[in-house]
A and B are shown apart, each in its own frame.
Chain A
Amino acid sequence: AQSVSQHNHHVILSEAASLELGCNYSYGGTVNLFWYVQYPGQHLQLLLKYFSGDPLVKGIKGFEAEFIKSKFSFNLRKPSVQWSDTAEYFCAVNAGQEGRRALTFGSGTRLQVQP
């Protein structure tokens, strides 16, 4: 079974600082990778996803993530964070046989951006 590790549980940054959130997964086969974001009081929203092709994917709101297959990683980055980026960020993976592609989530990283 696959698993996802997010090592940063709580990150505090000042506005304009750069962000990198780590995500590592364990699964030997082909995976699809996702980052979801949950703003305070809102539901989970898709930030970006990787299925295949260019390992550097760009998402909404200036976020990007890089898939490094050799490291089983899919780290999320943003060059300059804003106060409005305060949220909880979840890395997720789906794998396995076609049609049984439920997501396995990491435990999440709470990002707090200080003005």
Chain B
Amino acid sequence: EAGVAQSPRYKIIEKRQSVAFWCNPISGHATLYWYQQILGQGPKLLIQFQNNGVVDDSQLPKDRFSAERLKGVDSTLKIQPAKLEDSAVYLCASSSPPQQETQYFGPGTRLLVL
């Protein structure tokens, strides 16, 4: 089966610009996660969707980050305006019953904010 797809793979922007990332989960996976991985750290959850509803966005900096999953399939994560500290890899993951606890990760989008 096809894995989790993400685009773009790399993005360089200047601070205060906006940027959007796209994720297409594994077919049939109802749960979708966005993680932020800063260099030298482990991934940190930003938001979790169950179908098109938000389950957990407690760690999403809502003043600048937004995410949606309108049709319960693919998802977009947006940053507006970007800050230098947003430089990171943004990972998308998905999961589905019966192995709900096992998450499958995409290749990530590496963002550099100058």
**How many Å lie between the Cα of A49 and that of B100 in the bound state?**
13
Asked if B102 is an interface residue, CB under 8 A from chain A, the answer is yes
Residue tally, chain A, CB below 8 Å to B: 24
Task: Name the CB-closest residue of B to A103.
Answer: B103
- Inter-chain CA distance A103–B105, complex, in Å, is 12
**Nearest Cβ in chain A — how far from B59, in angstroms?**
9
* Alpha-carbon gap, A102 to B43, bound state (A): 11
Contacts of A51 in B (CB 8 A): 101
Q: Is the interface of B mostly helix, strand, loop or mixed?
A: strand
Cβ 8 A contact of A102, one of B41, B56, B102, B105 = B56
Of chain B, the residue at the smallest CB distance from A102 is: B45
User: Nearest residue in A to B101 (C-beta to C-beta)?
Assistant: A32
Residues in B neighbouring A32, C-beta threshold 8 A: 101
Q: For the complex formed, measure the closest distance between the CB of B106 and the CB atoms of chain A, giving whole angstroms.
A: 6
- Chain B residues with Cβ below 8 Å from A106 are 42
Q: Are A108 and B100 in contact (CB under 8 A)?
A: no
B79 to chain A, nearest CB (A): 20
Q: How far, in whole Å, are A107 and B3 apart by their CA atoms in the complex? A: 25
Residue of B nearest to A51 (CB): B101
Asked whether any CB of chain A lies closer than 8 Å to the CB of B91, the reply is yes
B42 touches A108 (CB 8 A): yes
Task: Kindly state the separation between the CA atoms of A101 and B95 in the bound complex, as whole angstroms.
Answer: 10
B101 touches A107 (CB 8 A): no
Q: Considering the chains assembled together, what is the distance between the CA atoms of A99 and B96 in angstroms? A: 11
Q: In the complex, A90 Cα to B35 Cα: how many Å?
A: 14
Which A residue sits closest to B48, measured CB to CB? A102
Interface residues of B (CB under 8 A from A): 3, 33, 35, 40-45, 48, 50, 55-56, 91, 93, 100-108
- Residues of chain A touching chain B, judged by Cβ–Cβ distance below 8 Å, are 4, 32, 34, 36, 42-46, 49, 51, 90, 92, 94, 99-108
